[in-house]
Amino acid sequence: MKHKLAIIGFGTVGQGFCEILLQKKEYLKKKYDFEWSVVAVADFAYGNVYNENGLDVEEMVGLAQKKEKFVKDAVDWETLELIERCNADTVCELTFTDLKTGGPAVDHVKTALASGKSVVTSNKGPAALMYPEMKKLADEQGVKFMIEGTVVAGTPIVNLAEGPLAGCEISKIRGILNGTTNYILSEMEKGLPYEEVLKSAQELGYAEADPTGDVEGYDARGKVTILANVVMGAELDIEDVACQGITKITPDDIKFAKEQGKRWKLIGSVENKDGKVTGSVAPEMVDLSHPLAGIMGATNALTFTTDLLGDVTIVGPGAGRIETGFSILTDVLAIGKR
Amino acid sequence: MKHKLAIIGFGTVGQGFCEILLQKKEYLKKKYDFEWSVVAVADFAYGNVYNENGLDVEEMVGLAQKKEKFVKDAVDWETLELIERCNADTVCELTFTDLKTGGPAVDHVKTALASGKSVVTSNKGPAALMYPEMKKLADEQGVKFMIEGTVVAGTPIVNLAEGPLAGCEISKIRGILNGTTNYILSEMEKGLPYEEVLKSAQELGYAEADPTGDVEGYDARGKVTILANVVMGAELDIEDVACQGITKITPDDIKFAKEQGKRWKLIGSVENKDGKVTGSVAPEMVDLSHPLAGIMGATNALTFTTDLLGDVTIVGPGAGRIETGFSILTDVLAIGKR
């Protein structure tokens, strides 16, 4: 039987995910006995569509790339109604992140879970702001709420901690969780001041026009909150996480670190001390011999400190259309493969 | 119901595994609803014991630490008979590695699988020499043959590739798979010749009296063969893997690499080119900016090159009593947790 998907938000990640689904159709069937159909798509730009027997995904990706609206299978249901009424097994919430209110994503997730559908999301909003509540709702409904894509794109973090590291107790997680700031800090080592590097990062598309969310550490803070609540089982609010960005780092600071055999990194960390979990985001001078010191540019990395294995570090891409699309696939596969 | 274990080989890893089981008894029950009992232990030094209702593991660990034989529940069955007749769900094969013949471990594994028991092992022999055959037997019997501990101790490699990376196609695996040689190469950067570093490594217990298996690359070759056959689905013989060790590296070579901004590493690699899988072990000059260059001493690291995520690198301990004991726990948990 095909695993039926609803895709809410057909932007970069939604389209990337669909491209992977199309490209890997045969592979997924052969290797994992996994077959899929996309029954519902909702997007504020392209419209809402529904077909309980499966939509024409290839055509829809083509339309979206030409910025044209969906026509076939169009419905006049609002998105929440679509989520509730559709016959999807799993709802993929891929709309924009709003770390203040959670945005419409929160209602999308709640509605999906309440109507007995699993949710997979790369949206940091619902995961950072209300994971404990959503997880409880999912458990009550006997469905899944999976969020691998909210931290370090598809690089396995949550699924690594919960799968292959199962049995280890994790006392600390520390890492580089934001590619934009890591890129800026890497470039500043060439002796350039912060403002100049930020400007060229914006021109290259590595930083947004309003870079606040990245450079003030808010994006990393959202991820730290998620790690604390998902991996450590805490119930932190995002404001509980102390947060300092990189805007005050000067070329002199960079030079000073260099002279000491160190390097500035924006480090997000979560620590469990005797059952009390705390989180923080702050620039730190990391020793050059530390695995995190070598992580340059847009790459992300996380070190888990465990009781049985000591330190285990994973390094991988922290963003990207296909890389984040994969995070959705991996969680959907975990739910739907036989 | 308790998951029933047989432990074949009660040396460093077997005792380390039992210590974890004892120490984590409550945690495993609470977090994973996993309860265990050890019903059989076989060891050529301490004897063979069996109790279908569970042995006194704590006492046995104590006896082994005092180098005393087991008395309670002793049986005069040979090990193969014990494996066949015991009521274990899973047999943990933890005897010594023999990369030439596979040693008695091969018969232990075969007998366990043939009698319908799952096998978890950290023994490179059966995994490197006959994984495809053993896996087929396990599949026929509807049981598992799991080998996480054969490569990089408990640091997740196989379980990372098969779990959280599921859906990615892996075209290349490259890494530092042997701690002894990595330690020697790290120490040689101080300007010391190979022979001198080897001698102090032997004195420190980092290298064996007969270091051939490590320094000629044979240990890494076994792991490369396992990765090729388990992760890439190949059917390589260990001799198919080209192998060169580190014995010919001189202080001049080390200096030459340094001058070029590089560093010698013994690299094991597996590559899948259009469905043809090849493996090799050889010293390479790695660029200092590469994540593998920063891996010093006894730490191991592996980079997976994938179609959807690009490069994903994992760094962790490559040896150790508890670290390898954990590899057994993680595989047993995957089989036995509810």
Tell me whether residues B296 and A313 touch, CB distance under 8 A. Answer: no
| Torsion over CA: A93, A94, A95, A99 (sign) | positive
Q: Whole domain around residue B99: which residue ranges?
A: 3-154+321-337
- Measured between CA atoms, how close is A307 to chain B, in angstroms? 9
* One domain, residues A247 and A122: no
| Nearest 10 degrees: Cα torsion A325, A327, A331, A334 | 100
At residue A296, does pLDDT exceed 90? no
pLDDT mean over B135-144 = 98
Q: Which of A160, A296, A309, A315 to mutate to test the interface with B (most CBs of B within 10 A)?
A: A309
CB B127 within 8 A of CB B150: yes
Q: Give the integer Cα–Cα distance in Å for A176 and B310.
A: 18
The pLDDT assigned to A236 comes to 97
At residue A298, does pLDDT exceed 90? no
Summarised one tens digit per residue, pLDDT across range A304-337 is 999 999 999 999 999 999 999 999 999 999 999 7
Summarised one tens digit per residue, pLDDT across range B223-254 is 999 999 999 999 999 999 999 999 999 999 99
Tell me whether residues A316 and B309 touch, CB distance under 8 A. Answer: yes
Looking up tokens 């994938």 gives B306
At residue B158, does pLDDT exceed 70? yes
Summarised one tens digit per residue, pLDDT across range B170-207 is 999 999 999 999 999 999 999 999 999 999 999 988 88
Confidence at B290, pLDDT banded by 50, 70, 90 = confident
At residue B47, does pLDDT exceed 80? yes
pTM of the full predicted structure?
A: 0.94
CB of B326 within 8 Å of any CB in chain A?
yes
Summarised one tens digit per residue, pLDDT across range B87-125 is 999 999 999 999 999 999 999 999 999 999 999 999 999
* One domain, residues B140 and B180: no
The pLDDT assigned to A268 comes to 98
* One domain, residues A41 and A135: yes
| Closest to A250 measured CA to CA, from A258, A239, A241 | A258
Confidence at A291, pLDDT banded by 50, 70, 90 = confident
Q: Give the integer Cα–Cα distance in Å for A150 and B63.
A: 49
CA distances from A61 to A69, A121, A212 (A): 11, 19, 31
* One domain, residues B46 and B116: yes
CB A241 within 8 A of CB A220: no
At residue A338, does pLDDT exceed 80? no
| Torsion over CA: A66, A68, A72, A77 (sign) | positive
CB of A116 within 8 Å of any CB in chain B?
no
Q: Is B117 among the catalytic positions?
A: no
Within a domain: residue B108? Answer: yes
**Least confident among A153-157, B291-295, B320-324:** B291-295
| Closest to A328 measured CA to CA, from A2, A24, A103 | A24
Amino acid at B267: I
At residue B291, does pLDDT exceed 70? yes
Q: Which residue from A291, A325, A333 is facing B315, i.e. has the nearest CB?
A: A291
The pLDDT assigned to B46 comes to 97
Backbone dihedral angles phi then psi of residue B88, each to the nearest 5 degrees: -65, 145
Within a domain: residue B118? Answer: yes
Q: Give the integer Cα–Cα distance in Å for B328 and B144.
A: 13
* One domain, residues A311 and A252: yes
Confidence at A138, pLDDT banded by 50, 70, 90 = very high
The pLDDT assigned to A337 comes to 79
Half-sphere exposure of B18 (CA within 13 A, CB side): 28
* One domain, residues A175 and A233: yes
Q: Which residue from A154, A289, A313 is facing B308, i.e. has the nearest CB?
A: A154
Give chain B's domain count: 2
The pLDDT assigned to B338 comes to 65
* One domain, residues B148 and B197: no
* One domain, residues B220 and B96: no
At residue B167, does pLDDT exceed 90? yes
Q: Give the integer Cα–Cα distance in Å for A137 and A56.
A: 32
Q: Calculate the CA B77 to chain-centre distance.
A: 28
CB of B315 within 8 Å of any CB in chain A?
yes
For the residues of A5-17, what is the DSSP string, one character each?
EEEE--SHHHHHH
SS3 assignment, position B280: strand
B-chain residues near A161 (CB < 8 A): none
ipTM: 0.94
CB A271 within 8 A of CB A172: yes
Residues 6 or more apart from B304 whose CB is under 8 A from it?
A: B160, B161, B165, B168, B170, B172, B173, B311, B312, B313, B314
At residue A223, does pLDDT exceed 90? yes
Residues 6 or more apart from A302 whose CB is under 8 A from it?
A: A152, A157, A173, A174, A175, A176, A177, A313, A314
Q: Chain A residue with minimal CA distance to B160?
A: A164
Q: Which residue from B309, B314, B317 is facing A317, i.e. has the nearest CB?
A: B309
Within a domain: residue B160? Answer: no
Within a domain: residue B18? Answer: yes
Instruction: State the pairing for strand pair B36-43/B47-50.
Output: antiparallel
* One domain, residues A85 and A201: no
- For chain A, percent of residues with pLDDT exceeding 90: 94
CB A264 within 8 A of CB A290: no
Within a domain: residue B235? Answer: yes
CB of B165 within 8 Å of any CB in chain A?
yes
Within a domain: residue A159? Answer: no
CATH of the domain at A230: 3.30.360.10
**Strand (E) positions, A128-191?**
145-146, 170-176
Half-sphere exposure of B80 (CA within 13 A, CB side): 8
CATH of the domain at A103: 3.40.50.720
Within a domain: residue A311? Answer: yes
Q: Which residue from A308, A311, A316 is facing B312, i.e. has the nearest CB?
A: A316
Q: Give the integer Cα–Cα distance in Å for A137 and A265.
A: 37
* One domain, residues A313 and A170: yes
pLDDT mean over A21-31 = 96
* One domain, residues A295 and A175: yes
Question: What length does chain B have?
Answer: 338
At residue B126, does pLDDT exceed 80? yes
At residue A74, does pLDDT exceed 90? yes
- Measured between CA atoms, how close is A313 to chain B, in angstroms? 5
* One domain, residues A313 and A171: yes
Confidence at B297, pLDDT banded by 50, 70, 90 = confident
pLDDT mean over A54-63 = 98
Within a domain: residue B188? Answer: yes
